[in-house]
Amino acid sequence: MRPLRWPVWIGIALIALGGVVVGRAHAHAEIARCEPPIGATLDVPPTQIRCWFTQELDPKGSTMTVLDAAGRPVDRGDAHVDLNDPDRKQMVVSLDPTRLLPGTYTVRWHTRSAEDGEETGGTFSLTVRGVRPTATAPFTPTIPPSPTALVPPTATPTLATPTPSAVPAFPPEAPRIPIGAVLLAFLIGVAAVGGVLGWARRR
């Protein structure tokens, strides 16, 4: 068998490289994995579904929804590419626990590659066997109010208004005669008596 010459090897290499380039050019953003896992059976409903894809996603052309057996959506309608992921390869949608009853649910996804613009989509299923327990407020016994003792009203002391006491009536006080006037009258009387006696002697 004659060995292949170098032009033949170059041709084979070019064909292989062309196949890789063509295959990459026509690649799509396919699902790599999800959480919860694809096809999982869950004891309680999840609060969200997050999927990782093989290529960077275009947020404007990528979406995901979750449907029940009747085709009704049970998600919150907020599917979006996780912009906190630096690779932009994650998409997440939150679920409404009140709509997730035991049963099988279909996850329908659609992607547009940010690398080549190619679009693709698909579905996978999840099974839920139980419901998420709802938090209940702790029971707080109601304590009836204790009977209030009736307190008799406190009598407010009233201060008696003092009535003016009767003032005893006294006879009007006799006017006082000055002592000097009494003495003067006495002297005049003595003088008068002396004059009368002297006149009687002279007769």
Peptide bond preceding 157 in cis form (omega within 30 of 0): no
Q: Could you tell me which of 124, 134, 132, 104 has the C-alpha nearest to residue 45?
A: 132
Predicted pLDDT at 53: 98
Count of residues for the chain? Answer: 203
pLDDT digits (tens, 9 = 90+) for 145-197: 665 555 555 656 566 555 555 545 545 555 565 676 667 777 787 777 666 67
SS3 6: helix
In sequence order, what DSSP letters do the residues of 72-127 get, joined into one string? -B-B-S--EE-TTSTT--EEEEEB-GGG--SEEEEEEEEEEBTTT--EEEEEEEEE
Share of the chain above pLDDT 70, in %: 58
CATH number of 28-128: 2.60.40.1220
C-alpha dihedral, 179 to 182 to 187 to 189, nearest 10° = -170
Predicted pLDDT at 134: 64
Question: Residue type for 173, please?
Answer: E
Better-scored residue on pLDDT, 172 or 67: 67
Tell me what the mean pLDDT of segment 97-105 comes to.
Answer: 93
* Domain map (residue ranges) of the chain: 28-128
Cβ 91 vs Cβ 62: under 8 Å: yes
Say whether pLDDT at 46 is over 80: yes
Predicted pLDDT at 6: 53
